[in-house]
Structures are given as C-alpha cells and as structure tokens.
C-alpha cells in the first residue's frame, strides 16, 4: 500500500480550496488527517473546506476534534466560533472568540468575529472598538471597514460612515455592494441625487445585489424621477414575491411599500418576513435575557410609549397634546426615547409630560430592554412601526408582558411580539383587517392624534407667496416621495381644465422640482403654474395655507400630519380612500373631522369632485365654513375624547393580559 504524504495532501488541499474546488480540498485534507491526526492545521483547513460546502455540523465536529488535541490553537477557536455564530449557540461562540483573543491578541479575525456578535446585540460602540483593533492588524480589510460603517450609521454618525465608504471604494472601485452601501448612507442623509448615482453604478457592476432595487426605488420616488420607476417597482414586487415563495428574507423594507400599489396580502407577508428576520437577529439576546413578568402591581396601570420621534417630528407634533390629556389618576405614563436623532425643545417638553421619561440614546439594546423590564410595565406601546429608527428589535426582546403599536406607522407589523394594533373602522375596514397579524383595537373615530397648533395671526397675501391674485389655488404640502405619476397627471389635468389655476407644493430637491416642471411642460402646462413654497416655521406655514382653495391628497401614501395641518388652517382636503391602510389615513382623518364626503372612492370621483368645487365658489365657501364649525364639535379635534378611548382600550388590553386571555379584537367604545 502506497504511503500517504500528509504534507503533499495538505498542500493539494490548499491549492484545491484556493481554486474553489472545495470537495477536492476535503478529500485531500481527510487523507492528510488520516496520516497525521495530531496536526491541528489540517483540522483548521478541513473545517474551512467543509464550511465552504455548508456542511456546518461536520465542520464544527472537525474543529472540536482539533481543539481537543491542541486547545491553545487560536485560529481554530475562531473557525469554530464563526460556525457557531451562524446558528443559535451564540454564547458558546462568544467564549471561543474570547479564548482566541487570550491566546493570540494579534489575530484580526478574532477581533472582527467578536465585533460581529456585539453588532448583533446592538452594542455598536463596543463593536466599533473591536473592529478598529482588527483593522490595525489588517488595515485593508474591506469587511471590517464596511461593518464599521454600519456601526457608525446605527450610532447616528452618517458622515463617519460616508467617509469609510469613500475610502473603501477607492480601494475597491469595482465592488458593486460598496456603491450600494454608499448609496444607502447618502439616501439617509437626504442626498438622493448622489444616492441614485451610487445605486446606478452598483447596478452596472453587479446585477445581483439583493437589496439594491428597493433603495433605488425609494430615491427615485424622492426625485420624482418616473421614467423607469414603474419597471423598478415591478422588479421590487417580483423579487419580494419570489423571496417570500422561497422562504428567504425579503430585501425591501415594508415601509417602502407604502407608496406603491402593493396589495394588502403582500404587505402582510412582507411584514411577517421582515419581523421574523428582526426576531432571528436578536434571538440569542432574547434567550439570554429571558424576561419573566411577575404578578401585576396594585394601583395605577403602568403604560409606556416607545418612540424615536420625541423631538421635532410629525409624530411628536400629533402626539404632544395627547400625552398632556392622558389620565394620571388611573395610569402611570412612561416615555422612552430611542434612536440617534437630535434631541431638542420638543424632547424637553415630553420630559415634563411623562411621569417617567428615559432617553436610551446612549444605551445599547440590552441596557434599554433591561430598563423597560425593570419598570414593570403593564403595557408597552410602540409609536414607530417600520419607520426610521424602528424599535422592532427592542420589542422582540419582549420587555413588557403585552405590546401594541399605535400612530407612527399605523399598519400591521406582522410580529408575534406585538399583539395589538390600534386603529379605526375607516382606516382598517374588514377587508383589510384580515391582512393584519395583530388583534385590532378599534377607536370610534380616527386613530390619528392631533394637537391644536399655533397659527400666526398675521396672514400673508397671495402675492407674497408667489400665488396669483385670481385663479384657483390647489395645494399639496406632502413630501414629494408620496407623489405618483398617475395622480400627478390628474392634478395637471385639473390645471389644464381650469385656466389661471396653480398647484402649490413644498420646495424639494432641485432634481425633484425640475422633474415635476418637466412633466408639466410635457403636458403643455407652463412651469410657473407649479409654485414651490420655501420651508417656513410651522405657525407661519399654517397661516399661509389659508390662501389656498383646496388641498389635493396623495393616492397611495396619503397625508397624515400634513392633512391635519391643512384642516387646522381651514383648508379642506380631497382624499381617496384606497385599498391599503397607507392609502386610507386621509379618509380616516376626514371622517373624524365630519368631512367624510371628501374621502372619495375612485380617481374619476376625485377629479369630478375637484372640478365641481372649482366651478362652484359657493359650495367651496360652504365647505370651508363647515370645516371651521366642525373644529368645535368634531371628534378629530377633541383630544381629551381620544385620550379617554385610548385609555379604555389600554385598560382592556391589560385586563386580558392579566387574565391570561389570548389577544382578540374589540372596539374600545364598548368598554368606555
């Protein structure tokens, strides 16, 4: 029998692995190991080859066998930890990384591997320190630099992340995913023109980047760049359906579907997939924390609100009067600020309104969860959903015995950790209720909160705002990403049918405004009939809105606070009650304002109603008078009423939770 030369087999395995022939490499390494079972380097490389073939359990067994022979071999500890970190043995993986660092603190892969676990736990600051040490040892490690950029983004330092990606692209100019990541950071900074350039470049270099199309779609929507947007939207939908069918995580964030015609069934499936991915990312931490919720405390019910938007933000603008109206006799209110956004005077206001207010800006995920759990809440209410700086990972740790979502997103989260969604019958009619994962708490009026705003007493004139003295003024003060080409075409059709009329919009990015003007010009509408209003203080913005005649709502992603602002300024809003919750917020608000007749059922009716009001000044004046009168009587403007119904709903949720009852839908009016 021919004697096996373990060195030659080992080198043959190395060559095969370098050439991508993992199966051949495994065969070589097995022969080498049979001849030299105590050579731990062979165990290490066989582990790598088996891992390349996704034979993870077998690879881990080989690594353990090697470590049994030589427990101080740091690279094999790292290899085993890498394998374990892909499953659920995270704590064991952490121990092996730590052993590797004790034995060889100069091993870059041990520092970066440990950093990856810290990232998964939400400990981004500490993860940055570990990645920095790994980068000192291996200065051009693209993976480390990329993950450092992700940490910086999560810590609210986008400019630091931007600098890292710029450096990475200099070193790796033809790596498509880096251009994609650069685009995402630019998008987060609102630099959509540059972001689109980065996404287009990424697409040129690599057509197979999973999450590129959803981000490109979003920036194109901000630009109102509609030439190929329809095709990209279809690509996003098709890819989402394919990934759901194949049991893969989706590449689009559910919030991005709000401005599309995605059906409710797809939105629910996407929400379930995204939430499951979030749950998996913190499963090890959740299992380690294993929160137990003891018996209820006597006395006031303890309810917490969790939000990244306790600052100058539309959610805070709507919510600030609600918290002031909440009952302090039967309830104890806790506020938790998350996310890396700025803290400001609005944050200071909320500190005074909550009985207990904690800012988690400098706390990691575990510390935040422990703090909430220590507060012994009866109910935790999320105000963010899938919006920016979402609290989903924190909710997945289940720091409270029962959890609900309200206001900030307003649609299903598809998450097992959130048992209730607070809504209303207009926003979530029966045909949409079946596409919600949560039990529904129905408020009798709109789910939207509103706060009576300050409005400048000095009203500007039309000339000062660049508006014509005569002629109808249509308005839409939503962000441009909510616009869609079909609805914008309908608005242009109204301008064409009404000589002298104008469309009054918020000023946006230069490219977006140029694209809107070009779209109008292609329809034969003069550019000056689109009037772009500069940003203004809120009180002044509301005052100037009274100069308009009628606000035209968006179609797929209707206005929320922008609709409330219009109503408070005395400006009626024409909305379309669509097929999804994001397309029905306007209808919900209008019904609670006593203006349900302005929430129409089709695009044809939308056009017909707008033209009718434009041609009948008396009807328009009567509508404005009705709106003014309703401010004193309609439920939308009665925040104490909303507070009482919410508290009744919260009380019933807590009663059911304490009784061990399964979550079930109910109308809050029934328990008032």
CATH number at residue 514: 3.40.50.2000
High-pLDDT (> 90) share of the chain, %: 89
Per the domain annotation, does 32 fall within a domain? no
Q: How many domains does the chain have?
A: 2
Per the domain annotation, does 582 fall within a domain? yes
Position 140 scores a pLDDT of 82
Q: Cα 477–256–362 angle (5° rounding)?
A: 90
Chain mean pLDDT for the chain? 94
One domain for residues 542 and 395: no
High-pLDDT (> 70) share of the chain, %: 99
Q: How far apart are CA 351 and CA 335, in angstroms?
A: 8
Per the domain annotation, does 193 fall within a domain? no
β-strands 473-476, 439-442 pairing: unpaired
Q: Tens digit of pLDDT for each residue in 127-179?
A: 999 999 999 999 888 889 999 999 999 888 999 999 999 999 998 999 999 99
How confident is residue 670, by pLDDT bands cut at 50, 70 and 90? low
Tokens 């800006």 belong to which residue? 361
Position 86 scores a pLDDT of 85
Per-residue pLDDT, averaged over 307-326, amounts to 96
Find the helix or strand (DSSP H, E) in which 382 lies: strand 379-382
Radius of gyration of the chain (CA): 29
DSSP conformation letters of 505-539: EE---HHHHHHHHHHHHHTT--GGGEEEEPP--HH
b or e along 462-490 (b: 16 or more beta carbons within 10 Å of the residue's beta carbon)? beebebeeeebbbbbbbbbbbbbeebbeb
How confident is residue 1, by pLDDT bands cut at 50, 70 and 90? very low
Position 469 scores a pLDDT of 92
One domain for residues 610 and 665: no
With left for phi above 0 and alpha for psi between -120 and 50, is residue 381 left, alpha or beta?
beta
For the cut 50, the answer to whether the pLDDT of residue 672 exceeds it is no
Residues facing residue 357 across a β-bridge: 335
Per the domain annotation, does 167 fall within a domain? no
For the cut 80, the answer to whether the pLDDT of residue 671 exceeds it is no
Position 308 scores a pLDDT of 96
CATH of the domain at 426: 3.40.50.11380
Per the domain annotation, does 561 fall within a domain? yes
One domain for residues 368 and 468: no
Position 547 scores a pLDDT of 97
Q: Tens digit of pLDDT for each residue in 9-66?
A: 899 989 999 999 999 999 999 999 998 999 999 999 999 999 999 999 999 999 999 9
One domain for residues 629 and 660: no
b or e along 403-425 (b: 16 or more beta carbons within 10 Å of the residue's beta carbon)? bbbbbbbbbbbbbebbbbbbbbb
Q: How far is CA 312 from the centre of its chain?
A: 18
Q: Tell me which residue range forms the domain holding 578.
A: 463-592+595-633
pTM of the model as a whole: 0.87
For the cut 80, the answer to whether the pLDDT of residue 467 exceeds it is yes
One domain for residues 485 and 365: no
One domain for residues 602 and 543: yes
First vs last Cα of the chain: how many Å apart?
89
Per the domain annotation, does 250 fall within a domain? no
Per the domain annotation, does 518 fall within a domain? yes
One domain for residues 327 and 424: yes
Per-residue pLDDT, averaged over 228-243, amounts to 94
Q: Tens digit of pLDDT for each residue in 406-462?
A: 999 999 999 999 999 999 999 999 999 999 999 999 999 999 999 999 999 998 999
Q: How far apart are CA 591 and CA 594, in angstroms?
A: 5
Q: How far apart are CA 496 and CA 494, in angstroms?
A: 5
Q: Tens digit of pLDDT for each residue in 236-256?
A: 999 999 999 999 999 899 999
b or e along 41-73 (b: 16 or more beta carbons within 10 Å of the residue's beta carbon)? bbbbbbbbbbbbeebbeebbebbebbbeeeeeb
For the cut 70, the answer to whether the pLDDT of residue 5 exceeds it is yes
Q: Could you say which DSSP state residue 139 is in? A: T
Q: How far apart are CA 261 and CA 257, in angstroms?
A: 8
């Amino acid at each position: 029998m021919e004697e096996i030369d373990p060195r030659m087999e080992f080198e043959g395995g190395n060559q095969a692995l370098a050439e991508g022939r993992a199966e051949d490499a495994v065969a070589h390494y097995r022969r080498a190991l049979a001849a030299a079972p105590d050579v731990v380097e062979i165990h290490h490389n066989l582990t790598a080859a088996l891992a390349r073939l996704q034979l993870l359990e077998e690879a881990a067994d080989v690594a353990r066998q090697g470590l049994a022979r030589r427990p101080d071999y740091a690279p094999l500890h790292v290899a085993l930890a890498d394998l374990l970190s892909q499953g659920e043995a995270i704590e064991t993986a952490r121990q092996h990384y730590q052993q590797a660092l004790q034995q060889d603190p100069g091993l870059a892969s041990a520092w970066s591997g440990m950093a990856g676990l810290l990232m998964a736990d939400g400990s981004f600051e500490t993860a940055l320190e570990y990645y920095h040490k790994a980068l000192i040892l291996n200065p051009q490690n693209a993976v480390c630099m990329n993950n450092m950029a992700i940490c910086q983004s999560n810590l609210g330092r986008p400019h630091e992340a931007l600098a890292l990606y710029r450096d990475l692209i200099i070193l790796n100019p033809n790596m498509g995913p880096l251009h994609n990541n650069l685009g995402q950071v630019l998008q987060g900074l609102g630099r959509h023109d540059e972001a689109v350039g980065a996404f287009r470049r990424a697409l040129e270099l690599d057509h197979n980047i999973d999450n590129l199309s959803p981000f490109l779609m979003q920036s194109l929507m901000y630009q109102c760049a509609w030439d190929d947007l329809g095709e990209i939207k279809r690509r996003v939908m098709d890819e989402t359906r394919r990934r759901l069918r194949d049991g893969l995580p989706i590449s689009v964030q559910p919030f991005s579907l709000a401005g599309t015609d995605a059906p409710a069934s797809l939105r629910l499936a996407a929400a379930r997939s995204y939430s499951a991915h979030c749950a998996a990312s913190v499963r090890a931490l959740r299992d380690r924390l294993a929160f137990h919720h003891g018996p209820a405390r006597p006395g006031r019910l303890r309810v917490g609100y969790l939000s990244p938007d306790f600052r100058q933000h539309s959610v805070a603008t709507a919510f600030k009067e609600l918290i002031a109206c909440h009952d302090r006799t039967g309830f104890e209110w806790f506020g938790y600020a998350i996310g890396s956004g700025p803290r400001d005077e609005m944050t200071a206001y909320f500190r005074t309104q909550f009985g207990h207010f904690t800012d988690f800006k400098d706390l990691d995920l575990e510390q935040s969860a422990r703090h909430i759990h220590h507060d012994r809440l009866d109910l935790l209410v999320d105000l963010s959903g899938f919006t920016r700086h979402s609290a989903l990972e924190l909710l997945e740790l289940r720091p409270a015995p029962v959890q609900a979502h309200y206001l900030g997103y307003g649609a299903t989260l598809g998450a097992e950790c959130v048992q209730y969604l607070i809504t209303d019958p207009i926003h979530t009619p029966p045909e949409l209720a079946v596409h919600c994962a949560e039990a529904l708490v129905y408020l009798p009026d709109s789910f939207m909160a509103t706060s009576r705003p300050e409005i400048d007493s000095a009203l500007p004139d039309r000339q000062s705002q660049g508006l014509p003295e005569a002629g109808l003024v249509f308005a839409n003060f939503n962000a441009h990403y909510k616009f869609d080409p079909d609805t914008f075409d309908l608005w242009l059709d109204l301008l064409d049918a009404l000589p002298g009329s104008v469309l009054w919009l918020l000023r946006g990015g230069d490219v977006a405004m140029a694209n809107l003007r070009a779209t109008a010009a292609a329809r034969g509408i003069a550019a000056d009939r689109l009037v772009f209003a500069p940003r203004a203080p809120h009180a002044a913005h509301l005052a100037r809105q009274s100069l308009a005649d009628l606000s035209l709502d968006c179609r797929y992603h209707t206005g929320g606070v922008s609709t409330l602002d219009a109503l408070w300024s005395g400006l009626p809003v024409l909305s379309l009650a669509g097929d999804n919750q994001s397309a029905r917020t306007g209808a919900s608000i209008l019904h609670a304002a006593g203006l349900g007749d302005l929430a129409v059922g089709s695009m044809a009716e939308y056009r017909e109603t707008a033209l009718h009001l434009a041609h009948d000044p008396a009807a328009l004046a009567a509508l404005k008078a009705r709106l003014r009168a309703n401010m004193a009587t309609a439920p939308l403007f009665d925040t104490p009423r909303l507070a009482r119904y919410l508290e009744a709903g919260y009380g019933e949720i807590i009663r059911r939770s304490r009784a061990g009852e399964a979550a079930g839908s109910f109308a809050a009016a029934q328990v008032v």
